[in-house]
Chains A and B, each alone.
Chain A
Amino acid sequence: EPEVTQTPSHQVTQMGQEVILRCVPISNHLYFYWYRQILGQKVEFLVSFYNNEISEKSEIFDDQFSVERPDGSNFTLKIRSTKLEDSAMYFCAGQRVSSTDTQYFGPGTRLTVL
């Protein structure tokens, strides 16, 4: 069964550094998402992406964040200048058909900002 994959599984970075989190969605999916989960809290929506553009973003997704799908397979989340409060688990998800279909999640990347 196809799966969503994410790399790296764990990233440690210094405050102020840029990080890129990578995801390879399931090949026939059209809608893509990033979510994050701060330790001990619930999972929160960051951004949705369809047809090579952002379709919705949360207030968490400020100018420090960006997403792209550069080669039609990888889907990346970039944080330009990390802050301590960006430490969290970041999940990528994909969906074949919007709104009514199952969202399939990757295993997550645990980001630790020191």
Chain B
Amino acid sequence: GIQVEQSPPDLILQEGANSTLRCNFSDSVNNLQWFHQNPWGQLINLFYIPSGTKQNGRLSATTVATERYSLLYISSSQTTDSGVYFCAVIGAQKLVFGQGTRLTINP
């Protein structure tokens, strides 16, 4: 099945810094989603981005499907950005999740 790898596993930054999270996947996909898991465990949809670039406020994402990777950019980080960020892809029907990147933003 499809393999999804995220890097780095952990990232600690000061408030105001920018960050780039990476997601590599092993096969062509029909769907790629980025999620933020908040401290209460909820999975918040950030982007649906099987290809191309999207932006939403301080967050943007780019997927290069032909090279099988996606990047999530967070600019001017805030403490509320802390949490785990998951990338998930669909090959057949189900979403396959990566292990996540734990982002900690210190004040």
Q: Chain A residues in contact with chain B, CB under 8 A?
A: 31, 33, 35, 37, 41-45, 48, 55-56, 58, 89, 91, 93, 98-105, 107-108, 110
> Considering the complex, which residues of chain B in the window 14-57 have a beta carbon less than 8 Å from any beta carbon of chain A?
30-31, 33, 35, 40-43, 45, 48, 50
Q: Chain B residues in contact with chain A, CB under 8 A?
A: 30-31, 33, 35, 40-43, 45, 48, 50, 86, 88, 90, 92-100
**Contact status B86-A99, CB under 8 Å:** no
Minimal beta-carbon separation of B26 from chain A (angstroms): 15
Given A99-B30, A100-B31, check contact A33 B94 (CB 8 Å).
yes
**Contact status B94-A45, CB under 8 Å:** yes
Shortest Cβ-Cβ A-B pairs, 5 listed: A45-B94, A102-B48, A43-B97, A105-B43, A42-B97
Task: State A64–B99 Cα separation when bound (angstroms).
Answer: 26
**Contact status A102-B93, CB under 8 Å:** no
